């Protein structure tokens, strides 16, 4: 992108002074406002931006999004073309290396990933230590973080060769850890990786293999899962990518940073949106109930899950691809009544001026939950599948931040709104009351603590 430099003239009405702030690529340096002071003892102006909704934290060449136009590109390539013509590992290579691989490069890359899918036997024992009803995502956070203790060379982040090795390990082993977490939660024996299968096919093998000598994944489901991984591979500076970069900025190893990213994805506002779509469709129940549901949405009594996006103010380009993936899946699994319900809900919403005027279009989560459910994945595995697909993007973001000379350890400022300095009150002067009725902290704790048996 060609840098265009101009300036912003700012007049401080407190002092009458005028400042010229450089503008480059449509942004200003927040640090430039530090020069705007009332006097020499003044810290200088700061920008207050909760949730960083209008703050660029980095310069990145990985993913481009134009939310108004409904555009998503990885390294310049439209997501639709990559989903149609590339494999997930090819896209992973693109995100990390910056260019699509040659035939030889892709072959070497696939071989590296394939031969790093095994995990240390002690990891199995670690997973065995979780309670039977532990959430697979919680297990994934823990086991990915634990990998750093198995690979101490991961701390040598300034060595390009060792960085690449950790990247290969993470992309390879996350499918094994994910499948092992699921198998543990249902009490099934672990299935080891099969090097003869593709990336997506091997994951299906480790998830579903029973007593057969060799698991043969259905090619339609294998391809559909591969495409879904591509669609989730990166999405600019989202919550989990921001967590990956922030932890990585302290020069922590990539396993620890990836565990933080997975933890961010664990939150229902990030990785759990497709589950909320399923719950909404189940709540609607039938096509006949859609008009009444739409009316409740307009009245503010219900939420239309899977529509609208923080970034996209147009049809999410990933959602268009997913409609085609759904057809592949349902040829194998048979139709799902929720799909008919979803399609009719989409049709009605897209013809309603209420949603059109608010630019509420289906996003990637609207159909993924239905597809995952049809393929046999329980809802607890939905964010885990998201994490598998997002791992290459996280790692690309991590390495880009690490190599950016402008980046330092992440340290946002704050606006302090607490007490000014006040005198210390000795213990004998303070109230001795500690019961829940007069002690606000104890009262809050009593209200928040659920009644449940110890185990």
pLDDT digits (tens, 9 = 90+) for 428-455: 887 754 444 455 555 565 566 555 555 5
365 belongs to the catalytic site: yes
Listed range (161-170, 273-282, 381-390) with the worst mean pLDDT: 273-282
Same domain, 51 and 67: no
Q: Kindly state the tokens that stand for 5.
A: 């430099």
| Domain with 108 in it | 60-403
Overall domain count for the chain: 2
Q: Is residue 278 part of a domain?
A: yes
Q: Is residue 198 part of a domain?
A: yes
Q: What is the chain's alpha carbon radius of gyration, rounded to the nearest angstrom?
A: 25
Q: Is residue 443 part of a domain?
A: no
Instruction: Flag whether pLDDT at 159 surpasses 70.
Output: yes
Instruction: Flag whether pLDDT at 390 surpasses 60.
Output: yes
Same domain, 7 and 71: no
* Residue where one domain finishes, among candidates 9, 31, 55: 55
For residue range 91-104, list pLDDT tens digits in order.
999 999 999 999 99
Same domain, 150 and 31: no
Same domain, 286 and 381: yes
Same domain, 39 and 120: no
Instruction: Flag whether pLDDT at 73 surpasses 80.
Output: yes
Bridge partners (DSSP) listed for residue 66: 71
Summarize the confidence of residues 287-313 as an average pLDDT: 83
Q: Is residue 45 part of a domain?
A: yes
* Residue where one domain finishes, among candidates 403, 419, 441: 403
Confidence of residue 363 (pLDDT cuts 50, 70, 90): confident
* pLDDT score of 329: 92
pTM: 0.87
41 belongs to the catalytic site: no
Q: Which residue has the tokens 């996280």?
A: 394
Summarize the confidence of residues 298-326 as an average pLDDT: 78
Q: Is residue 447 part of a domain?
A: no
CATH of the domain at 87: 1.10.580.10
Give percent of the chain above pLDDT 70: 92
Q: Is residue 446 part of a domain?
A: no
Instruction: Flag whether pLDDT at 356 surpasses 90.
Output: no
Same domain, 43 and 192: no
Bridge partners (DSSP) listed for residue 18: 11
* Residue where one domain finishes, among candidates 40, 55, 70: 55
Q: Which residue has the tokens 């923080």?
A: 310
Q: Is residue 413 part of a domain?
A: no
Q: Is residue 433 part of a domain?
A: no
Same domain, 275 and 391: yes
Same domain, 5 and 80: no
* pLDDT score of 270: 86
**Alpha carbons 30 and 66: distance in angstroms, whole number:** 23
87-98 in b/e form (b: 16+ CB < 10 A) is bbbbbbbbbbee
Same domain, 73 and 109: yes
Same domain, 29 and 71: no
How big is the chain, counted in residues?
Answer: 455
Q: Which of 194, 226, 234, 365 is catalytic?
A: 365
Same domain, 240 and 288: yes
Summarize the confidence of residues 183-211 as an average pLDDT: 96
Same domain, 289 and 340: yes
Q: Which of 309, 352, 428, 435 is catalytic?
A: 309
């Amino acid at each position: 992108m060609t840098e265009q430099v101009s300036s912003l003239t700012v007049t401080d009405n407190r002092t009458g002074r005028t400042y010229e702030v450089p503008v480059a690529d449509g942004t200003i340096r927040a640090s430039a406002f530090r020069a705007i002071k009332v006097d020499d003892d003044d810290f200088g102006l700061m920008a207050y931006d909760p949730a960083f909704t209008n703050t660029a934290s980095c310069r990145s060449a990985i993913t481009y999004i134009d939310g108004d136009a409904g555009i998503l590109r990885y390294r310049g390539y439209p997501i639709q073309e990559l989903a149609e013509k590339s494999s997930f590992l090819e896209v992973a290579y693109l995100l990390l290396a910056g260019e699509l691989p040659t035939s030889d490069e892709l072959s070497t890359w696939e071989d590296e990933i394939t031969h790093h899918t095994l995990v240390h036997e002690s990891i199995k024992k670690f997973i065995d230590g979780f309670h039977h009803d532990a959430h697979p995502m919680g297990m994934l956070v823990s086991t990915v973080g634990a990998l750093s203790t198995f690979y101490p060379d991961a701390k040598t982040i300034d060595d390009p060769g060792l960085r690449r090795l950790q990247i290969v390990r993470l992309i390879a082993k996350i499918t094994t850890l994910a499948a092992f977490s699921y198998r543990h939660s249902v009490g099934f024996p672990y299935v080891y990786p099969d090097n003869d299968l593709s990336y997506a096919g091997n994951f299906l093998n480790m998830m579903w293999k029973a007593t057969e000598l060799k698991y043969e994944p259905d090619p339609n489901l294998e391809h559909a899962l591969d495409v879904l991984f591509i669609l989730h591979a990166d999405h600019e500076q989202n919550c989990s990518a921001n967590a990956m970069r922030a932890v990585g900025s302290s020069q922590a190893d990539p396993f620890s940073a990836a565990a933080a990213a997975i933890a961010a994805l664990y939150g229902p506002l990030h990785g759990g949106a497709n589950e909320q779509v399923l719950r909404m469709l189940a709540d609607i129940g039938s096509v006949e109930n859609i008009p009444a549901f739409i009316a409740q949405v307009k009245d503010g009594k219900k939420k239309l899950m899977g529509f609208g996006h923080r970034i996209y103010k147009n049809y999410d380009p990933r959602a268009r691809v997913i409609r085609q993936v759904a057809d592949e899946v349902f040829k194998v699994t048979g139709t799902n009544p929720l799909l008919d319900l979803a399609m009719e809900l989409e049709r009605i919403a897209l013809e309603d001026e209420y949603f059109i005027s608010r630019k509420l279009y289906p996003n990637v989560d609207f159909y993924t939950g239905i597809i995952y459910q049809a393929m046999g994945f329980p809802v607890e595995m939905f964010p885990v599948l998201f994490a598998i697909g997002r791992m290459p993007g996280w790692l690309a973001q991590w390495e880009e931040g690490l190599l950016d000379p402008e980046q330092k350890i992440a340290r946002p400022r704050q606006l302090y709104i607490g007490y000014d300095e006040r005198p210390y009150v000795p213990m004998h002067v303070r109230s001795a009351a500690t019961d829940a009725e007069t002690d606000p902290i104890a009262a809050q704790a009593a209200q928040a603590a659920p009644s449940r048996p110890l185990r």
